[in-house]
């Protein structure tokens, strides 16, 4: 046990009332107790994606690693920190990779985990720079890289206050592939040597699946509409990844005669969101039977169907962007060619939103103008078509980061001297 472990344990004890309110599974694995992986047959790369967003971001990266165009294939282990992220990773990657739960950053658990996994290199998606984990990897001469690197202004301010403690950890990183120049500069300011930082773009553009043709039907969308009771002859607003108070805002801002579907970002908010949408049809109640017709408020209280809902939308509103949070990802509806509105608080997706805005592919609106903006957009088919076309084009124009990340990661992997022949 080290001084950092004592700090973690003390903090955990102080936060235990709050932590116990959240349902968390897999505590054995969180403490690093996992079965040893089979002997390696090729170099083993561990990729840590903390939650659903990061898991989705690496969808196009994994095929480039397990079946590269040149060089040997790589054995990939994907680790995830949240329960929803773990479920998503298993759904996406079980046929390509080993999917495991990431350990909490206690030194003993980290050692047990690394003993069991034996990675040759580690990639951390976006940030997730945990001191004990990185220190242990350094001692074992396992290179650690940050991919799709993102250090927002808000996070950077917090990290700067702890720079004397955290800068040695950042200095141990072997590579940082940052999304843009601003993020790169912040990693350097935190202690990463300048020569180890490069700009590779964001893989989230690659993860956004663009249909072959605009308005191409998405498999499963018609079934979702039928089972919810959505009237396809009437306009539909879909609000994705909504946060506290936003369902109430959207309910009030929705024009008369227009249908509204809200998809809260966090499952623990489903009941709260339902209360804010009077008489709403809840998706969780319609999977085995169709909903009654004539409703105009819908709640997507399930996981994994948001893309289907977006595909049904006439207008999309991006949640967690109107009040005290910092935005959600607009790339999925942009790839589908949907007209998109977002609130003014989008700091966690600043560069993506700015890229879309410069392309004429998204509108930024204040909460008190949302009702007006929704009505104007729904009344203007030309404006909707303009936003739709530019959104799809912007996503296509910004793809390619996954290949750049794959090349960097492959360069970090050593020859696997202890691999067992296949």
Q: Considering the domain boundaries, does residue 68 fall inside one?
A: yes
Residues 405 and 388 in one domain: no
CATH number of the domain encompassing residue 297: 3.40.50.2000
Residues 408 and 368 in one domain: no
Residues 238 and 366 in one domain: yes
Residue 3 token pair:
């001084």
Residues forming beta bridges with residue 55, ordered by sequence position: none
Report the greatest alpha carbon distance in the chain.
67
Q: Mean pLDDT across the stretch 286-295?
A: 78
Confidence band, pLDDT 50/70/90 cuts, at residue 305: very high
pLDDT of 297 above 90: yes
What whole-number distance in Å separates Cα of residue 357 and Cα of residue 53?
Answer: 21
Q: Mean pLDDT across the stretch 48-71?
A: 88
pLDDT of 7 above 90: no
Residues 194 and 243 in one domain: no
Q: Considering the domain boundaries, does residue 136 fall inside one?
A: yes
Q: Considering the domain boundaries, does residue 3 fall inside one?
A: no
- Asked if residue 55 lies in contact with residue 15, where contact means CB atoms within 8 angstroms, the answer is no
Residues 226 and 352 in one domain: yes
- Asked if residue 346 lies in contact with residue 329, where contact means CB atoms within 8 angstroms, the answer is no
What whole-number distance in Å separates Cα of residue 74 and Cα of residue 162?
Answer: 36
Q: Mean pLDDT across the stretch 258-262?
A: 98
Residues 101 and 189 in one domain: yes
pTM reported for the whole predicted model: 0.78
Residues 118 and 174 in one domain: yes
Closest CA to 352 of 399, 305, 406: 399
Domain total in the chain: 2
Residues 34 and 109 in one domain: yes
Q: Considering the domain boundaries, does residue 343 fall inside one?
A: yes
Q: Considering the domain boundaries, does residue 258 fall inside one?
A: yes
Residue 401 token pair:
């980061």
Residues 149 and 282 in one domain: no
Quick: pLDDT tens for 329-338: 999 999 999 9
Residues 295 and 405 in one domain: no
Q: Mean pLDDT across the stretch 381-405?
A: 96
- pLDDT for 21: 56
Q: Mean pLDDT across the stretch 125-152?
A: 95
Q: Considering the domain boundaries, does residue 7 fall inside one?
A: no
Q: Considering the domain boundaries, does residue 27 fall inside one?
A: yes
Residues 192 and 258 in one domain: no
Q: Considering the domain boundaries, does residue 421 fall inside one?
A: no
Residues 301 and 355 in one domain: yes
CATH number of the domain encompassing residue 87: 3.40.50.11720
Least confident of 192-201, 241-250, 406-415: 406-415
Quick: pLDDT tens for 308-321: 999 999 999 999 99
What whole-number distance in Å separates Cα of residue 72 and Cα of residue 139?
Answer: 26
Residues forming beta bridges with residue 264, ordered by sequence position: 242
What whole-number distance in Å separates Cα of residue 291 and Cα of residue 112?
Answer: 50
3-state secondary structure the chain: CCHHHHHHHHHHHHHHHHHHHCCCCCHHHHCCCCCCCCCCCCCEEEEECCCHHHHHHCCCHHHHHHCCCCCCCCEEEEEECCHHHHHHHHHHHCCCCEEEECCCCCHHHHHHHHHHHCCCEEEEECCCCCHHHHHHHHHCCCCEEEEEECCCHHHHHHHHHCHHHHHHHHHCCCEEEECCHHHHHHHHHCCCCHHHEEECCCCHHHHCCCCCCCCCCCCCHHHHHHHHCCCCCCCEEEEEEECCCHHHHHHHHCCCCCEEEEEECCHHHHHHHHHHCCCCEEHHHCCCCCCCCCCCEEECCCCCCHHHHHHHCCEEEECCCCCCCCCCCCHHHHHCCCCEEECCCCHHHHHHHHHHHHCCCCEECCHHHHHHHHHHHHHCHHHHHHHHHHHHHHHHHCCCHHHHHHHHHHHHCCCCCCCCCC
What whole-number distance in Å separates Cα of residue 260 and Cα of residue 145?
Answer: 42
Domain that holds residue 180: 23-202+400-412
What whole-number distance in Å separates Cα of residue 90 and Cα of residue 67?
Answer: 19
pLDDT of 269 above 60: yes
């Amino acid at each position: 046990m080290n001084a950092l472990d004592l700090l973690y344990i003390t903090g955990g004890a102080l936060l235990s009332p709050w932590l116990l309110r959240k349902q968390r599974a897999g505590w054995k694995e969180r403490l690093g107790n996992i079965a040893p992986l089979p002997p390696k047959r090729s170099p083993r790369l561990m990729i840590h994606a903390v939650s659903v967003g990061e898991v989705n971001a690496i969808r196009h990266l994994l095929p480039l690693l397990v079946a590269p165009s040149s060089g040997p294939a790589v054995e990939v282990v994907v680790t995830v920190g949240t329960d929803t992220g773990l479920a998503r990773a298993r759904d996406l990657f079980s046929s390509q990779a080993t999917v495991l739960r990431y350990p909490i950053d206690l030194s003993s658990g980290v050692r047990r985990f690394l003993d069991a996994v034996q990675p040759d290199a580690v990639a951390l998606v976006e940030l997730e720079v945990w001191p004990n984990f990185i220190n242990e990897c350094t001692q074992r001469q396992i290179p650690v890289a940050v991919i799709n690197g993102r250090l927002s202004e808000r996070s950077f301010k917090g990290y700067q206050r702890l720079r004397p403690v955290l800068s040695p950890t950042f200095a141990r990183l072997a590579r940082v592939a940052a999304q843009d120049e601003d993020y790169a500069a912040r990693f350097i300011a935190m202690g990463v040597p300048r020569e180890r930082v490069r700009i590779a773009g964001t893989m989230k553009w690659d993860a956004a699946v663009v249909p072959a043709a605009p308005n191409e039907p998405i498999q499963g969308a018609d079934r979702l509409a039928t089972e919810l009771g959505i009237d396809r002859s009437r306009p539909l607003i879909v609000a994705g990844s909504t946060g506290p108070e936003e369902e109430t805002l959207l309910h009030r801002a929705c024009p008369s005669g227009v249908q509204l579907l809200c998809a809260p970002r966090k499952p623990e908010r489903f009941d709260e969101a339902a209360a804010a949408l009077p008489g709403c049809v809840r998706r969780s109640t319609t999977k085995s039977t169709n909903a009654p017709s004539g409703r105009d408020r819908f709640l997507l209280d399930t996981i994994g169907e948001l893309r289907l809902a977006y595909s049904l939308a006439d207008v999309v509103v991006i949640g967690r962007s109107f009040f005290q949070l910092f935005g959600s990802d607009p790339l999925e509806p942009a790839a589908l060619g949907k007209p998109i509105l977002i609130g003014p608080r989008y700091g966690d997706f600043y560069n993506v939103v700015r890229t879309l805005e410069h392309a004429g592919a998204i509108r930024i609106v204040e909460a008190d103008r949302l009702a007006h903006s929704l009505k104007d957009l729904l009344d203007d088919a030309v404006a909707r078509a303009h936003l739709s076309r530019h959104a799809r084009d912007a996503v296509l124009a910004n793809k390619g980061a996954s290949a750049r990340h794959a090349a960097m990661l492959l360069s970090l992997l050593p020859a696997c001297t202890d691999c067992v022949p296949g």
